[in-house]
Amino acid sequence: MNFTKEQLRLYLVTDRRYLEGRNLIDVVMQSIEGGVTMVQLREKDITAREFIELAHALKTKLSLYNKNHSLHIPLIINDRIDIALAVDADGVHIGQSDMPYEEARRLLGYDKIVGLSVENLSDVIEANAVDVDYIGISPVFATPTKTDTALPFGLDGLRSAVNISIHPTVAIGGINISNAHEVMQAGADGIAVVSAILASTNPTEATKQLLIKRS
Amino acid sequence: MNFTKEQLRLYLVTDRRYLEGRNLIDVVMQSIEGGVTMVQLREKDITAREFIELAHALKTKLSLYNKNHSLHIPLIINDRIDIALAVDADGVHIGQSDMPYEEARRLLGYDKIVGLSVENLSDVIEANAVDVDYIGISPVFATPTKTDTALPFGLDGLRSAVNISIHPTVAIGGINISNAHEVMQAGADGIAVVSAILASTNPTEATKQLLIKRS
């Protein structure tokens, strides 16, 4: 598995609720044209069959794009290790309520990326004891995307988490064009966004602007 | 995998909504004391972590029971192949909206049981083309347990499905003590129930009565 922390630069996490009728794969590919470096399919309220069809279709488009541009933008599946295995995705992202890390790693092996959400500093310390590929520090700010999230880290908490972690880090939760710069200043290797790209009427441009601001 | 159609005789499918505060594992073990021959954990609205913990705990109890009684009551996981793999369950049960059969089989291999729900005769014919271990004919009658089910087969439809199928069959949906006998007369190898056992204040006795009626 050739994962590097540079792939965390701008990480798009999906949520079809922001699409207002647009096709998810189209919007993801538009964001990739803008420079997204990693994609996570996080779809709830969807059957396994729909999830697999979506993941298959995105993987096909993404593989072609990667090949044509000599890139490696990984496709990550949220929570469902079986779906990641079925479509041969690049990895999974698991949260504290998902399958325990050790079991996910055992099922996926070391050729796949396994990312783990941490919700507080104690989770960061626990993550240091295992060989996750990256941690998602979540949420940095209060966010409307997820309703089940823990208290926000804030910028100070993010800085502490980054300092404590031995793993590459991506910050997520309420990150947009107005705060991307200060999040990066706090030391994260990258930012993950949902609505900042998906809710934009121009995902390519929104992505480009985020990349400018974050640098 | 030493699955036989006799294991389908009386198949318990779980749904915590019927428990009214009782512990799921206690109720399942009470039904096993009564003679349940196969158990499927079908739990929605639960995190993967909770599902795994539940499955681990049930597997431990069930393995001990099987050992002490020289039985092999299989533990089947609904939908989530990853959870079945994580806990080394005996197999999975998948529906028409879950992972396609071929992918599930590829992930699980032939040492595991894979059961498939069929919702109409055309599904039965399609299932004949693959090597599923059994089919769940669903629903036989209208049922309050699942809200997303197809039109009921009825007894005539069940009879047709059983006649067409080359696989062992278990009938599910609205089966209880008052209709268990006629369902078995229609030719199914077994019956699967949810509320007929789980909603009973005496799951052991409810199971025994179902076994008497079905024979």
ipTM of this complex: 0.91
Q: Is B99 on the interface with A (CB under 8 A)?
A: yes
B89 neighbourhood in chain A, CB within 8 Å = none
From the CA of A11, how many Å to the nearest CA of chain B?
24
Show the tokens assigned to B137: 């004919």
Over the stretch A4-54, which tens digit does the pLDDT of each residue have? 999 999 999 999 999 999 999 999 999 999 999 999 999 988 999 999 999
* Secondary structure of residue A5 in the 3-state scheme: helix
Over the stretch B48-96, which tens digit does the pLDDT of each residue have? 999 999 999 999 999 999 999 999 999 999 999 999 999 999 999 999 9
Collect all residues with Cβ–Cβ distance below 8 Å to B123 and sequence separation of at least 6: B96, B117
The rounded average pLDDT for each run of 10 residues, N- to C-terminus, in chain B (215 residues) is: 91 96 97 98 93 97 97 97 98 97 97 98 98 97 72 97 98 96 96 97 98 87
Q: Verify whether residue A42 is a known catalytic residue.
A: yes
Which residue in the list A42, A59, A80, A214 is annotated as catalytic?
A: A42
| pLDDT band, residue A116 (cuts 50/70/90) | very high
Please spell the DSSP secondary structure of B166-178, one letter per residue. Answer: SS-EEEESS--TT
pLDDT mean over A148-168: 93
B82 neighbourhood in chain A, CB within 8 Å = 80-82, 85, 99, 107
Under 8 Å between Cβ of A198 and A14: yes
From the CA of A212, how many Å to the nearest CA of chain B?
37
Q: Is A81 on the interface with B (CB under 8 A)?
A: yes
Give the pLDDT confidence score for residue B149 in this predicted structure: 63
The shortest CB-CB distance from A107 to any of B50, B86, B106 is to: B86
Among candidate residues A32, A188, A76, the one with its CA nearest the CA of residue A179:
A188
Q: Verify whether residue B213 is a known catalytic residue.
A: no
In the block, which residue shows the tokens 């480009």? A208
Q: Verify whether residue A63 is a known catalytic residue.
A: no
pLDDT mean over A55-83: 97
List the domains of chain A with CATH numbers. Answer: 5-214 (3.20.20.70)
CA A67 to chain centroid = 21
